[in-house]
Structures are given as C-alpha cells and as structure tokens.
Amino acid sequence: MELDWEFMEETLPKVWAGAGVTMELTLLSLLLALPIGFYLAVIRLHGCKTLQGIVRSYVSFVRGTPIVLQILLLYSLLPSVLNVLVQAMGWQINIFEAVDPFWYAVVVFTINTVALLAEVFRSALNSIPRGQMEAGLAIGLSSLQVYLRVIIPQAMVVAMPSICNITVNLVKGTSLAFLMTVKDIMAIGKIAASFGYNYLEAYIDVFFVYLVLCTIIQIFYHLVEGRIGAFRGKRA
Amino acid sequence: METRVFDVSMLWQSLPALLEYLDVTLLVGISSICLGSLLGGLLAYGKLSRNPAGRYIAHGYTYIMRCTPSIVLLFIVFYGLPQLAEALFDWEIDDWHRGIFAVITFTLLFGAYISEVFRAAYEAVDKGQYEAAVSIGLSPWQSVWQVMLPQAAVIALPNFGNAVINLLKEGALAYTIGLIDLIGKGNLIIAQNFGAYGLEIYLACMLVYWVMTLAIEQGFNKLENYLAKG
C-alpha cells in the first residue's frame, strides 16, 4: 500500500484550518447549552409535575435518537420554518441565502448538548447532601446564596469529568456538521479526498487533527479540574 | 416558495417499509457488539496485565479511539481496508458487502469503549474474593472464571447497557457508506419522492430508534434487578 505522503503533507494545514470552525461550533454550542441545561436540571429537581414530564421526555428523546437523524431532521425543518416566519413578518429576506448553515449547526448541537448537560447537572446537584442547604440557611444565607456559593461550586467539581466527556463527544459530533455544508475539519477533508480520490490519506489527516484537538481539550479540563477542585485538598 | 404542510399519514405509511430494513441495522449493531465485546475483553486483559507493553498498547488504543469521530473511522476503514488487504495479502475486498465494513468499524469503536467498562468492573470486585477462592484450592483460572468474572459482569451491566445504546445510535452512520439500513431506506424513499417528505421520514426513523432505545433500557433495568437479587 502506497500512501501519498506529499498529498498528506499538503492537505494537513488545510484540514487544520478547519479546526477553527469546529472549535467555534463546539464552544458556542457548549456556552449556549450550559445555562439552559442547568435550568432544565433545576426544573427536573424542583419544577412542577408537568414541566418535569416535559423535560424528561425531551431528554429521553434527544438521548434516544442518533444525532445524525437530529441533524437531518432539523436541517430540513429549520430553514422552512424560518422562511415562513420571515414572510409572515413581511421582511424581504431570502432565508435560504441569508443564514449561514453554521447557525443551524449551532442550534442542532445546542439542542443535543442541553439534554446531555441537564442529566449531568441533575445527578451532580443530587450528589450534594441536603444538609449543605440546611446548614447554609441556618447561618442566615438566602437560598440563592446557598446555591451560588455552596452547592454549585461543589456540584461543578462532581460534574466536571462528565462535562469533559460531553465536550470531547461534542467535538467528535461536530464532524457530522458537513451534512449541513458547514466547512469544518471533516468537510475540508472530504473535499480534499474527492478531489484526487486520495480518500485514505485525507481521512488520516482528519483523524490526526481530531486526535490533537481532543488531547488539548482533555489537558485543559484536567487543569480546570485541579483548579476548581482545589478545596478538596491534594488527592492521591 | 410554496410551503407544504407536515403530512402525518406519510409518517405512518412509511413505517412498514422502514421497519423492513430494521434487521440490517440490528444485525450490524448486534454483530459489532458481540465482536466488540471480545476485543474489549482482550483489551481489558491487556490493561490489567503486568506486562507493560500490553498495558501501553491497550491504553493507547482506547485513547485514540476515544478521540476519533466514528464517521472518520468509518471512512478510513471503508476506503483504507481494501487498499491494506490488497497490499498485504493480495486480496480483493472492494466488493465486500458494505455491512462488513460497518461491522469492522463499530467493532473497533465498541471494543475501546467496553474495555474501559470491563476494566473498571473487574477492579471494583474485591481482591479478597480472588485470594479466598485460591485459598480454598481453586486454580487461578478457576478463581477468575467462576468467582471474579460473574461478580464483575453484574457490576458492568448498567454501563454495558449504555454502551450498547450508544453503539446502536452511532450505527446510524452506516448509511453514509451506502449501506441500505433503516436510514438508508429512508433516504431512498425521500429520493423516490423527489426530495419531499424528508421531515416525515426522518421523524419516523427517530421514532423507531427512540422506541428501540427505551426498550433496551427497560430490558437492562429488568436484568439488573433480577441479577441484583444474587
């Protein structure tokens, strides 16, 4: 088997340039999903029965269906819905050209990540003993203060490894954004691959870039975990 | 542009045609799970062994797989394996069924995920169990097979169930290499209707997956409760 090394060397920087889009997509989805996911987790724990049921079905549906189907569905749904809305408002915008598919991708991955984060936050909040809240209230803090200063800092440490997992999976998941014509790592690799039929070489480049990205993310989370978990003291 | 209203009847009509191809999806999933469990067992054995080379290889493999998007691995296997087979053994495997490439890919992925589950479960069993088994005269192999592994299996069950569900969901990607499974058939139906009914068909596929996941979840829960009785 002859790998075309020259082609791989040429393609690697091009593919690497797509890492920006991949990371933007990941970070934006994650930042949007964090507050919503947390809110849903609080609803799951303290909300009324109906809301709890809605959140539970939402989480179950998103976690029970492949992300590729979510992408295909929303990518055929969102543009038409937006179009109807825009026309109802009487604006003269061609939605199909005006909106970068990147934003559809952000919506899809946010919807997906919200469900995953809601579960993580729920179990993290559950893991903090009830006594922490009672102790906080007993020394005269308001329940919001107890949440912000006592419960959330501890819950975050518990949730961090899972959030790291979710981030890594999100980076990997964004490789499917090429189905929405977003020009990320995978899409650039795919274009390079079909240009000269160098499929294997191009995808090995893509594989390599993802490996580097994931390594960086895991090192980052490792540092963050050490920082926010500092109150627990040194661990073996 | 004319906007067509969502057609619920199309969703129900397409279900029988889609379900006909569910067996392909399940076959790919189940074969990958069986073969992947064997690979995972081997990797877990490597991670737990005293041989540093075995440990490095097993951990390194798991790390790399954890960082690889399944679709990239799928494409590498689909395009790369025929080249590799031809170069090494002079085999022509270009015309192998696409399902085989899908199974190979998901076996490689599942093996990595499940090896972590197996390793953690084995380490969760008290070492004293092994020592006790050896001290009453069982051979080391017997102690592992008859005492350690049955207990580890119970511990591993919930995570194993999760991994199975994740694998089935990732298996949905198999249509990208042209395998006609559930989603592949869905795309064919959409193509037959000149691109119409995308929403209905995809939603139908999602419902099938959702029901499947819920059923598997329930099944594993039941099994867990049954085994927890001891």
The CATH number assigned to the domain holding B44 equals: 1.10.3720.10
C-alpha dist (Å) from residue B155 to A142, A218, B113: 41, 27, 16
Tell me the C-alpha distance between A188 and B190, whole Å.
Answer: 27
What is the rounded average pLDDT for all residues in chain B?
87
B202–A69: do the CB atoms touch at under 8 Å? yes
Task: Give, as one character, the DSSP assignment of residue B5.
Answer: P
Q: How confident is the model at residue B14 (pLDDT cuts 50, 70, 90)?
A: confident
Q: How confident is the model at residue B30 (pLDDT cuts 50, 70, 90)?
A: very high
Tell me the C-alpha distance between A140 and A132, whole Å.
Answer: 13
Tell me the C-alpha distance between A22 and A183, whole Å.
Answer: 9
Domain count of the fold of chain A: 1
Of A175, A178, A179, A181, give the one whose Cα is nearest residue A211: A175
Q: Which of A63, A67, A76 sits opposite B202 (nearest CB)?
A: A76
Residues B81 and B98 in one domain: yes
* Token representation of residue B80: 């790369």
Residues B154 and B210 in one domain: no
Task: Give, as one character, the DSSP assignment of residue A147.
Answer: I
Q: Does B170 touch chain A (CB under 8 A)?
A: yes
Q: Which of A69, A193, A204 sits opposite B172 (nearest CB)?
A: A69
Residues B155 and B187 in one domain: no
Domain count of the fold of chain B: 2
- Residues from A contacting B (CB-CB < 8 Å) are 1-2, 60-61, 63-70, 72-73, 76-77, 80, 83-84, 168, 172-173, 175-176, 186, 189, 193, 199-200, 203-204, 206-207, 210-211, 213-215
pLDDT over 90, % of chain A: 45
Is the ipTM, as predicted for this complex, more than 0.90? no
Residues B7 and B54 in one domain: no
| Statement: residue B27 has pLDDT above 50 | yes
Residues B122 and B148 in one domain: yes
- Structural domain for A32, as ranges: 5-230
Tell me, what's the pLDDT at B2? 46
A64–B72: do the CB atoms touch at under 8 Å? no
* Token representation of residue A42: 């609080």
CB contact burial B153-188 (16+ within 10 A = b; e otherwise): ebbbbebbbbbbbbbbbbbbbbbbbebbbbbbbbbe
pLDDT of chain A along its 236 residues, tens only?
Answer: 677 788 888 888 888 888 899 999 999 999 999 999 999 999 998 888 999 999 999 999 999 999 999 998 898 888 888 888 888 887 777 777 778 889 999 999 999 999 999 999 999 999 999 899 899 999 999 988 998 889 988 898 889 989 999 999 999 999 999 888 888 898 888 888 888 778 888 888 899 999 999 999 999 998 988 888 777 765 54
B83–A172: do the CB atoms touch at under 8 Å? no
**B203: closest CA of chain A, how far (Å):** 7
Partners of B171 on chain A (C-beta within 8 Å) are 66
Distance of CA A117 to the CA centre of its chain: 9
Counting one residue from A and one from B, how many pairs have CB atoms under 8 Å apart?
Answer: 104
pTM (whole model) above 0.95: no
Residues B28 and B5 in one domain: no
Q: How confident is the model at residue B4 (pLDDT cuts 50, 70, 90)?
A: low
Partners of B172 on chain A (C-beta within 8 Å) are 66, 68-69
- Structural domain for B56, as ranges: 24-179
Tell me, what's the pLDDT at A236? 43
Residues B129 and B198 in one domain: no
Specify the residue for token string 């074969």.
Answer: B31
Residues B29 and B139 in one domain: yes
